[in-house]
Amino acid sequence: MTDVHAFCAAMPGAQLSFPFNEEIAVYKVGGKIFALTGVTDVESINLKAEPADVTGLVETHEAITRGFHMNKKHWITVRLTGDLPSGLLEELIEDSYDLIVDKLPARDRP
C-alpha cells in the first residue's frame, strides 16, 4: 500500500494544509482540494472523481464508498484497510489531482 501522504505531497504544486483541525490533512493544488485523509490515523482518504465513475467504483469495490461528509456525486472515500487492486489507489489519487488541475486557469496550473 502506498504512503498516501508521500504520494499526495509528491504531486506537482501540491500543498498540505489543516483548515479543519490538526488531525485532517488536506492536500490542495491551485487552492482547490484534491485529497483529505487523517494525519496519524490513516484509515481512509477522500478523493474527487468524475460523477460518471463514482457509481461504478462504489459498485465494483467494497473499499470504496460515496464521499464521507462530501458531495456524494463528486467525491469518493477509499478505505485503505480494504482490498484494492494493486495500483488503483495511486490511480485514484492521480485522477483526483488531474480533475482539479484541469479546471484551474492556465496561470494557476503547476
pLDDT beyond 80 at 2: no
Cell digits of residue 90: 495511486
Q: What is the pLDDT of residues 82-102, one digit of tens each?
A: 788 889 999 999 999 999 999
Q: What is the pLDDT of residues 54-80, one digit of tens each?
A: 999 999 999 999 988 887 778 999 999
**What distance in Å separates the CA atoms of residue 71 and residue 66, rounded to the nearest whole number?**
8
Residue 26: DSSP 8-state: E
Amino acid 1: pLDDT: 45
Residues counted in the chain:
110
Residue 90 in any domain: the answer is yes
Nearest one of 77, 84, 66 to 38, comparing CA atoms: 77
Asked if residue 41 lies in contact with residue 23, where contact means CB atoms within 8 angstroms, the answer is: yes
Range of the domain at 58: 4-105
Asked if residue 76 lies in contact with residue 66, where contact means CB atoms within 8 angstroms, the answer is: yes
Q: In what order do the strands lie in the sheet with 44-48?
A: 15-17, 24-29, 32-38, 44-48, 75-79, 64-66
Residue 110 in any domain: the answer is no
Q: How many domains does the chain have?
A: 1
CATH number at residue 34: 3.90.1150.30
Asked if residue 37 lies in contact with residue 103, where contact means CB atoms within 8 angstroms, the answer is: no
**What distance in Å separates the CA atoms of residue 82 and residue 88, rounded to the nearest whole number?**
12
